[in-house]
Structure 1
Amino acid sequence: MVFSEWPLGADLAQAEELADLAHRRDVLTAVGLQARSAPPLRYLRDLVADGYVGRVLSTSMLGSGGIGGATYDGNYAYVLDVTSGATLLSIPFGHSVDALTMVLGEFREVSALIENLRPEVVHVTSGAVAAKTAEDQIAVTGVLESGVVAAMHFRGGTSRATAFHWEINGTDGDVVVKADQAQWWYGGLRLYGAQGEEGALVELPVPARYQRSLVQWAERSAEPACNVAHEYALLRDQITGNLAPDTDGVPDFRHAVRRHGMLEKIREAARTGRKVALAEQGS
């Protein structure tokens, strides 16, 4: 059995090679797209499916990437190189778009802008200037398979205003997901919602059943290991055959290949300036 952190490879070709090898060896695989295991997002998916917002019309996501800012740390110098595969697109955007598709479904088509507006960055302590080829601005718009209009904007570094904000707007209500940290997929998510003619958004507590067997994490949701812990719990239940019939397991290498393929399509859309179809990307 093999568990890999996300992204699975530096590019789609590496991911395909690993997934093919795992298939030929009949190896159980898992990939660390842990936002899918977060109790707030599993609850959010059920809220949307049960009609909390009515028919979903649009969704908007704004995030800060953490990486891709004006400075860099020596431990993370590799993220300056776009060919490393560890970029704003693959990591912050990749985790985020995977969460969006888990809740609302896959994209049918996308348009994109990907820019490197800071080709030179400064070391946080030495002041040394280094070249950066990786992107620091990503703007993606598109239409989901359900017809929902979607917009995502991720900025490199941090923002004094917004670390992470995600809205889902429907005919009968609205839901908002917020986090105070750029690496929101670690944990610390908060849900807010309002229906019909209700006024201000109110916080939506996550029911205890979404904690599964990890009740000890209920008060530790902001810790970096929180959602990884929930992913491991799902993986354990998957391995032992204890997943409930209506509960999906953790994403595997095949899923990672589909998500890598999606990111390649987004790069293609940015490179060509055209809408690109995302046929059969799956979930």
Structure 2
Amino acid sequence: MATSPKIRTALVGLNAPYTGAPTGTNWAARAHLPYLQASSKYELVALQNSSAERASKAIEAYGLNPDTVKAYGTPEDADLANDPNVDLVVSSIRVDRHGGSVIPSIKAGKAVFVEWPLEANYAIAKDLTDLVKTHNVRNVVGLQGGFSPVVQKLKDLVARGDIGKVESSTVVIKSMGGATLPSMVDYFVDKKIGGNAFTIAFGHSLELVTQVLGEVASHRSLLVNQYPEVSIVDPKTREVLEKRPNDVPNQIVFNAILKSGAVLTQKLHSSASIPPGGKDQGQPPGLDWRIFGSKGEIRITANETWALNTGNGDAKVEVWKDDGTVVVVDIGVDEFEDLPAPARNIGRVYEAFAAGLDWEGKKKKWYPDFEHALKTHELIEQMYKENGF
């Protein structure tokens, strides 16, 4: 049986390791690169950065072959978009630059993978979604939490009725933010950029919940900004570098009725006083999720806030039955456990995208696309408006 050709991939936003103060999260290096280097389905053929020189430095820094991995500069030049040897362009840069980094490639007919949030706000995200439809371009978005083995196991437990009919659920998560922010994400204080502790953490955590319990039917929310001024600190020394005005909420309460009829309460707490990290750092769990059914309860806890979203294996799942028994669920492992934690669920998204393509315009396997992400963008926009942000 003939094997499918590898998907020739260009990665936008892979920076050489920082020598000074870091800027951004370098998610491309932490999550995308490890999978792409190990994959049998994808081939990394190009990097794009703010300049071809910076892309070349990244090629050298990560030991990539300059004979097989091309270096491209700013997307405005459209050199990457016009490269016939690139099938897929992956954008892992600051949120408000996502669209600009892929629009030339969309217009050239290339498939695109854009991180979450898709863009700075709902209106721009909708324009981007409309554009991929106009050009009939295959697209995928980095809402990877639904591919977590824990989430898949939870879906199975709920579907087979281990706790009866799901009546309600509560989710409490912690995120960075509050009075201080590390300098590499100083832009989190600026709502118009679109990437912040609210949009990123809430969007990803809602994806986990809806993948298990189903979509939102109606909702009300409470958003509060307790820190109109935030201290930007050195991520290593915690020295205060500057003060910045902040217009992003740090307390989020989301109440919803799901299409199943179940009631959801989701709480996001962004505070520097209680950082994500769990008991290994002398802290409570970063994630505490409970699913209440007519015949029992499922409780999910994780040291790290992002454990389910990234694929970190420290989550604990317990099923509390109405007969008093408690079962600790074995999640199991797969081949992605060999990757660094940030790359595991991202790798699973890549796999679903590859399996879902027949390159005839049909989608054979589900994966999160722009249309899917746009629903969460719209919900976040409604929450902002409801609370006067």
User: Which of 83, 87, 90 is the aligned partner of 2:196?
Assistant: 87
Shift of 1:270: 2.9
User: Which of 141, 157, 168 is the aligned partner of 2:291?
Assistant: 168
**Structure 2 gap segments, 5+ residues each:** 1-110, 277-282
So what's the TM-score if we normalise by structure 1? Answer: 0.85
Give me the whole-angstrom Cα distance separating, in 1, the residues matched to 2:295 and 2:128. 44
Cross-structure match for 1:281: none
Cross-structure match for 2:175: 65
- For residues 15-164 of structure 1, what are the structure 2 equivalents within 5 Å? 15-66=125-176, 68-125=177-234, 126-127=239-240, 128-157=242-271, 158=275, 160-164=283-287
Cross-structure match for 2:378: 261
Cross-structure match for 2:17: none
Shift of 1:21: 0.5
Change (3 A) 1:173 1:110: same
Change (3 A) 1:206 1:219: farther
Shift of 1:42: 1.3
Whether the aligned pair in 1 keeps the contact of 2:230 and 2:246 (CA below 8 Å) is: yes
Give me the whole-angstrom Cα distance separating, in 1, the residues matched to 2:172 and 2:246. 23
Shift of 1:223: 1.3
User: Which of 296, 311, 317 is the aligned partner of 1:191?
Assistant: 317
What is the letter of the counterpart of residue 133 of structure 1? D
Give me the whole-angstrom Cα distance separating, in 2, the residues matched to 1:26 and 1:207. 38
Shift of 1:152: 0.7
- For residues 191-230 of structure 1, what are the structure 2 equivalents within 5 Å? 191-199=317-325, 201-207=326-332, 215-218=334-337, 223-230=341-348
Whether the aligned pair in 2 keeps the contact of 1:89 and 1:263 (CA below 8 Å) is: no
Residue by residue, what CA displacement relative to the aligned partner does 1:222-269 show, whole Å, maximum 9, x if unpaired? 71211111111111211259xxx9x95211011111111111222233
What is the letter of the counterpart of residue 216 of structure 2? F
Give me the whole-angstrom Cα distance separating, in 2, the residues matched to 1:232 and 1:141. 32
- Moved beyond 4 Å, runs of 4+: none
Q: SS where residue 129 of structure 2 aligns?
A: helix
Shift of 1:117: 0.3
Give me the whole-angstrom Cα distance separating, in 2, the residues matched to 1:229 and 1:145. 30
Q: SS where residue 42 of structure 1 aligns?
A: helix
Give me the whole-angstrom Cα distance separating, in 1, the residues matched to 2:178 and 2:328. 31
Shift of 1:181: 1.3
Give me the whole-angstrom Cα distance separating, in 2, the residues matched to 1:218 and 1:204. 18
**Structure 1 gap segments, 5+ residues each:** 209-214, 273-283
Structure with greater contact order relative to length (CA < 8 Å, sep ≥ 6): 1
What is the letter of the counterpart of residue 149 of structure 1? V
What is the letter of the counterpart of residue 266 of structure 2? M
Change (3 A) 1:14 1:192: same
Change (3 A) 1:176 1:240: farther
What is the letter of the counterpart of residue 122 of structure 2? L
What is the letter of the counterpart of residue 131 of structure 1? P
Whether the aligned pair in 1 keeps the contact of 2:216 and 2:257 (CA below 8 Å) is: yes
Shift of 1:108: 1.6
Q: Which moved more, 1:11-20 or 1:115-124?
A: 115-124
